[in-house]
């Protein structure tokens, strides 16, 4: 007699699986090797921080996950595989545009569209075919609540997004990202241009978003990595030097290079 597999079992199984599996990846810009022999897994529903000095490959790897590097002439994965939810993202049947909907991206500098606050958030859902005003209203409110911005902007939705502060603009960009219901959210130094108060709000938001998304964040801020991430990956000269639970990486790193970096001896 076969055991019944419940919905809860399937959810538990999905959560326990890796959201991203990277195996033996080499990446080149033209003839220059930017990443070499990268292998690790990113667990579902966790926050993973990429740390390391400038030019070590953190952002390059991040952009591999949604194939943003495809837009750079001569940039390519030359070896290895990247699986997301079990699918090799460079397979011919994978549509890069659809991939980028499933894997949202928040950039270092907030980049709202020259439109109203409402239209910034509604833009993605409109592209995916949502036309009903009532449905769009619900999506916009939900995304702005999800980015902890609703109470600050609910009475000025038709005003230009450029009227928001830098921190509010970055949270608006996060709202725009989650409005299309991605599975993974990539963040490339999302707080580097923000003051400490705005940074704290975005960090609180990142921790809240973990309830619904797998999040990968590139940061130069060691304290930020320590505060928000479950796992930390340390990169140096295009190689993954060490990867593990953030608490262990910062308290008891296995590699001397990791210890030297997080204690400020270089970088």
Name all contacts of 29-35 with Cβ < 8 Å and 24+ positions apart.
29/72, 29/74, 29/75, 30/74, 30/75, 33/238, 34/60, 34/238, 35/60, 35/61, 35/64, 35/238, 35/239
At 193 the pLDDT is 86
Q: Say which residues have a Cβ less than 8 Å from residue 3's Cβ, sequence separation at least 6.
A: none
Q: Which pTM does this prediction carry?
A: 0.88
Task: Write the pLDDT tens digit of every residue in 125-158.
Answer: 998 899 999 999 999 999 999 999 999 999 999 9
Q: What share of the chain is helix, strand, coil (3-state, %, to 5)?
A: 40, 25, 35
DSSP 8-state symbol, 107? -
pLDDT band at residue 8 under the 50/70/90 scheme: very low
- The angle subtended at Cα 19 by Cα 36 and Cα 224, nearest 5°, is 75
> Dmax of the chain from CA atoms?
64
**Sheet holding 239-245: strands in order across?**
103-106, 184-188, 214-218, 47-51, 231-236, 239-245
User: Token pair 């299309």 is at which residue?
Assistant: 180
Identify the three-state secondary structure at position 267: coil
At 11 the pLDDT is 35
Between CA 68 and CA 64 the distance in angstroms is 6
**Pairing, β 47-51 against β 231-236:** parallel
Q: What is the mean pLDDT of residues 51-63?
A: 95
Task: Write the pLDDT tens digit of every residue in 191-225.
Answer: 998 999 999 999 999 999 999 999 999 999 999 99
At 13 the pLDDT is 41
Backbone angles phi, psi at 182, to 5 degrees: -70, 170
Backbone angles phi, psi at 98, to 5 degrees: -65, -40
Q: Say which residue, 83 or 10, is predicted with more confidence.
A: 83
Asked if 256 and 85 touch (Cβ cutoff 8 Å), the reply is no
Asked if 266 and 242 touch (Cβ cutoff 8 Å), the reply is no
Between CA 251 and CA 249 the distance in angstroms is 6
Between CA 167 and CA 191 the distance in angstroms is 8
Q: End-to-end distance of the chain based on CA atoms, in angstroms?
A: 60
Q: What is the rounded radius of gyration, in angstroms, for the C-alpha atoms of the chain?
A: 19
Between CA 147 and CA 142 the distance in angstroms is 9
**Structure token digits, residue 196:** 């400490």
Asked if 77 and 83 touch (Cβ cutoff 8 Å), the reply is no
At 1 the pLDDT is 39
Q: What is the mean pLDDT of residues 73-100?
A: 94
At 267 the pLDDT is 62
């Amino acid at each position: 007699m076969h055991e019944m597999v419940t919905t809860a079992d399937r959810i538990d199984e999905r959560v326990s699986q890796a959201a991203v599996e990277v195996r033996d990846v080499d990446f080149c810009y033209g003839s220059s090797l930017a990443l070499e022999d990268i292998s690790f897994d990113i667990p579902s529903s966790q926050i993973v921080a990429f740390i390391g000095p400038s030019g070590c490959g953190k952002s390059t790897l991040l952009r591999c996950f949604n194939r943003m590097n495809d837009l750079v002439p001569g940039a390519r994965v030359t070896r290895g595989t990247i699986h997301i939810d079990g699918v090799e993202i460079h397979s011919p049947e994978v549509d890069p545009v659809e991939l980028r909907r499933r894997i949202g991206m928040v950039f270092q500098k907030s980049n709202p569209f020259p439109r109203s606050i409402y239209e910034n958030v509604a833009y993605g859902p409109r592209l995916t075919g949502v036309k009903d005003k009532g449905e769009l209203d619900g999506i916009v409110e939900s995304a702005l609540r999800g980015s902890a911005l609703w109470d600050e902007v609910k009475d000025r939705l038709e005003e230009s997004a450029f009227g928001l502060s830098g921190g509010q603009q970055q949270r608006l960009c996060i709202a725009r990202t989650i409005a299309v219901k991605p599975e993974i959210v990539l963040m490339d130094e999302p707080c580097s241009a923000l003051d400490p108060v705005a940074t704290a709000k975005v960090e609180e938001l990142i921790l809240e978003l973990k309830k619904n998304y797998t999040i990968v964040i590139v940061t130069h801020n060691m304290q930020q990595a320590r505060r928000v991430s479950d796992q930390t990956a340390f990169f140096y000269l295009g190689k993954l030097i060490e990867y593990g639970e953030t608490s262990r990486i910062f308290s008891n790193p296995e590699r001397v290079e990791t210890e030297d970096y997080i204690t400020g001896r270089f970088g």
